[in-house]
Amino acid sequence: MASQVETNTVGKVLQEEYMEPNGISAERLAQDLEFPLFIIRDVLQGKRRITADLSVRLGEYFGISEMYYMNLEMEAENQRNMDEAIALLKGSAEKKSE
């Protein structure tokens, strides 16, 4: 069976594509956005999903679409759902072949 490809979390994209290249720490981002640091850290660690409010703030901060992070979040959610569905189907197929 083929192994599942690990998908990037929204936090990983935020950190690797926007924060690190610009030398922005979680603390600085939270301060600049006037947003709680613990939420920024949770997003970066993949423990919390992006909200519309945070997506708008990040879009304005980085000069990109306010929907960019919401769209990434929806794609990540769709991928999680697909992975779960595939796992369920594979489990059903394995039980039938026993």
**2-12 per-position pLDDT tens digit:** 334 345 689 99
Instruction: Give Cα 81 to chain centroid, integer Å.
Output: 14
pTM for this model (two decimals): 0.76
pLDDT reported for residue 2: 37
Indicate if the pLDDT at residue 44 is higher than 60.
yes
Average pLDDT over residues 13-26: 96
Rounded to an integer, what distance in angstroms lies between the CA atom of residue 25 and that of residue 52? Answer: 21
Domains for the chain: give ranges and CATH numbers.
10-97 (1.10.260.40)
How many Cβ atoms are within 10 Å of 83's Cβ, its own excluded? 14
Map tokens 């992006």 to a residue. Answer: 50
